[in-house]
């Protein structure tokens, strides 16, 4: 697991603005920056819901500011005075005004433009699968957002993580919760899609490295964990960790797409057609990124294994919680 140097008190006056700092990755990034001694301005749409971030630093070290990436004026205010900017804004499923285009493209462009005007370095979080030719709107919008960032801030550091896991994740927690209620778990496309899950804390340390100026300017890094697993293997691993036996049922892409079309408009729908499209493509670090050192190795970091983290939070889904014995 990657280390972060802890300071006894703030060691510098450098201000870092973090957009989307109240999200899953955001809280880990804010913590890492605060532990290093940076002053952190967390720019979010709903400041009243982000107060939990302030205890991650010393008194006054972490401040929450209102900003909406759909309104460039608020973005410019949030960036004013910052000596580095981090953009973590993103969604996996669209809802209302929170569309892929609004957040991944327009929002990324607004943040990059404001950062360029400020003359500060930018760290931008994209995703493995960002591709103009992606079958999913998510992947295409991420690629367009990257292009917008590069146009405004050519030296920006871009990170493309695979699916992230950790205590607050929406992957393992989601399927573990489903396994509590259902005797069957669907494997879209037969569960053959490959993933390279990455620990959220490791991605946060990579961001910290970039803010510290220890990443290659203008580079695009692909961040994956030490293991490549199929969707089926990840479900089997999750079931083992929670001590449950469930039927894993193959669900062809065509049928999954039909179900998503019929249900995706309902509040809290478990699946969208775009997510089905995303599952048609493997989510792993490319050979080109490996060959060019644009991975954790290029940052002199070693990614954390699934086995080191999953038991620390999936125990709550076991029948008797932490007292349930799980066979190794």
Residues in contact with 260: Cβ distance below 8 Å, sequence separation at least 6, in sequence order:
269, 271, 272, 273, 275, 276
CA distances in angstroms from 214 to 195, 209, 211, 290, listed in the order given: 27, 5, 7, 18
Residues in the chain: 328
Contact 301, 205 (CB under 8 A): yes
Residues in contact with 136: Cβ distance below 8 Å, sequence separation at least 6, in sequence order:
129, 274, 275, 277, 278, 281
Write the CATH number for 39: 3.40.50.720
In a domain, 134, yes or no: yes
Instruction: Quick: pLDDT tens for 136-170.
Output: 999 999 999 999 999 999 999 999 999 999 999 99
Per-residue model confidence as pLDDT tens for the chain (328 residues): 556 665 555 456 799 999 999 999 999 999 999 999 999 999 999 999 999 999 999 999 999 999 999 999 999 999 999 999 999 999 988 888 889 999 999 999 999 999 999 999 999 999 999 999 999 999 999 999 999 999 999 999 999 999 999 999 999 999 999 999 999 999 999 999 999 999 999 999 999 999 999 999 999 999 999 999 999 999 999 999 999 999 999 999 999 999 999 988 877 777 899 999 999 999 999 999 999 999 999 999 999 999 999 999 999 999 877 767 666 6
Distance CA 326, CA 244 (A): 10
In a domain, 3, yes or no: no
In a domain, 22, yes or no: yes
In a domain, 266, yes or no: no
CA distances in angstroms from 196 to 47, 163, 306, 321, listed in the order given: 33, 7, 10, 27
In a domain, 142, yes or no: yes
Contact 219, 294 (CB under 8 A): yes
Whole domain around residue 22: which residue ranges? 15-166+196-228+283-303
Is 0.75 surpassed by the pTM of this model?
yes
In a domain, 274, yes or no: no
Distance CA 248, CA 103 (A): 35
CB atoms within 10 A of CB 60: 9
In a domain, 322, yes or no: no
Instruction: Quick: pLDDT tens for 205-256.
Output: 999 999 999 999 999 999 999 999 999 999 999 999 999 999 999 999 999 9
Q: Count the domains in the chain.
A: 1
In a domain, 202, yes or no: yes
């Amino acid at each position: 697991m990657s280390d972060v140097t802890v300071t006894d008190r703030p060691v510098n006056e450098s201000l870092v603005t973090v957009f989307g700092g109240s999200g899953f990755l955001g809280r880990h990034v804010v913590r890492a920056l605060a532990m290093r001694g940076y002053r952190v301005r967390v720019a979010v749409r709903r400041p009243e819901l982000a107060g939990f971030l302030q205890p991650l630093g010393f008194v006054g070290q972490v401040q929450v500011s209102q900003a909406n990436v759909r309104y460039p004026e608020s973005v410019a205010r949030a960036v004013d005075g910052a000596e580095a900017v981090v953009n973590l804004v993103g969604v996996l499923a669209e809802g209302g005004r929170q569309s892929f285009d609004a957040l991944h493209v327009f929002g990324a462009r607004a943040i990059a433009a404001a950062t360029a005007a400020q003359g500060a370095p930018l760290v931008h979080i994209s995703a493995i699968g960002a591709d103009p030719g992606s079958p999913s709107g998510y992947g295409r919008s991420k690629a367009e957002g990257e292009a917008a960032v590069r146009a405004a801030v050519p030296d920006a550091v871009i990170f493309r993580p695979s699916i992230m896991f950790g205590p607050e994740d929406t992957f393992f927690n989601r399927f573990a919760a489903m396994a509590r209620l259902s005797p069957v778990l669907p494997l879209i496309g037969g569960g053959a899609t490959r993933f390279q899950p990455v620990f959220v804390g490791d991605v946060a340390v990579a961001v910290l490295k970039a803010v510290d100026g220890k990443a290659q300017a203008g580079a695009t890094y692909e961040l994956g964990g030490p293991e490549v697993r199929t969707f089926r293997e990840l479900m089997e691993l999750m079931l083992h960790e929670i001590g449950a036996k469930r039927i894993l049922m193959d669900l062809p892409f065509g049928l999954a797409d039909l179900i998503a079309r019929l249900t995706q408009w309902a509040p809290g729908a478990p699946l969208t057609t775009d997510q089905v499209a995303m599952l048609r493509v493997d989510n792993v670090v490319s050979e080109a990124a490996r060959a060019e050192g644009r991975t954790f190795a290029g940052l002199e970091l070693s990614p954390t294994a699934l086995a080191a983290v999953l038991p620390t939070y999936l125990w709550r889904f076991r029948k008797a919680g932490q007292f349930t014995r799980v066979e190794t």
